[in-house]
A and B are shown apart, each in its own frame.
Chain A
Amino acid sequence: DAGVIQSPRHEVTEMGQEVTLRCKPISGHDYLFWYRQTMMRGLELLIYFNNNVPIDDSGMPEDRFSAKMPNASFSTLKIQPSEPRDSAVYFCASTPRAGATQETQYFGPGTRLLVL
């Protein structure tokens, strides 16, 4: 398998523009996670899905952020409108199962977002 795939790898945009980040999890993985990493706050979980259903979005910072998973092989994280403080690296991760038999999470390479 190619691993978790994210696109774009880099995104530079201007404040107020819409940004869409994309993720393809590893085939057969039931859980998908979106994280944000900054120097100040470290790695933060934004939202996660189980079998395409959003389970916990309590980490989503504001209504400007939204995430969807229309099918088992694709998810998007959208920021509209974007602000300079959204600049960060956004990671997608997937795992085949969670709970007592949890395996580790497999991370994508990340999308580096810079909002000017």
Chain B
Amino acid sequence: KQEVTQIPAALSVPEGENLVLNCSFTDSAIYNLQWFRQDPGKGLTSLLLIQSSQREQTSGRLNASLDKSSGRSTLYIAASQPGDSATYLCAAYPGQGGSEKLVFGKGTKLTVNP
């Protein structure tokens, strides 16, 4: 059974700092790994999707990497801004033969202080 873990549960940084959010998963047989952002009281918004054959994806100040062999993914945020404050969730999509279920971590709550 796939399990996804995100540590730490919360992170507070000063504005302008570069930071890394961590995600680990127990079963390396995945189709892709996805990162979402959730603002308070809102739904999830997709940030990046990394296919199992890829090593990383970039969008603006965000860079997500994937290492299937070690069961890890990281989300790198460059030059953080107060507007980046949100909860970031990663989710693993199971490999062939699995159902269509995304397995989510519980998220890392990020606070960027001005």
Contacts and interface: CB of A to CB of B under 8 A. Distances in A.
Interface residues of A, number: 25
A107 B44 contact: yes
A103 B46 CA distance: 10
B77 interface: no
Contacts of A102: 31-32, 93, 100
Interface stretch (B14-22, B65-73, B78-86, B103-111): B103-111
Contacts of B49: 103-104
A42 B104 contact: yes
A25 interface: no
B99 A56 contact: yes
B61 interface: no
B38 to A, nearest CB: 9
B58 interface: no
A10 to B, nearest CB: 10
Contacts of A59: 101
Contacts of A110: 42-43
A8 B49 CA distance: 30
Nearest to A4: B43
Interface of A: 4, 31, 42-43, 45, 48, 50, 55-56, 59, 91, 93, 98-100, 102-110, 112
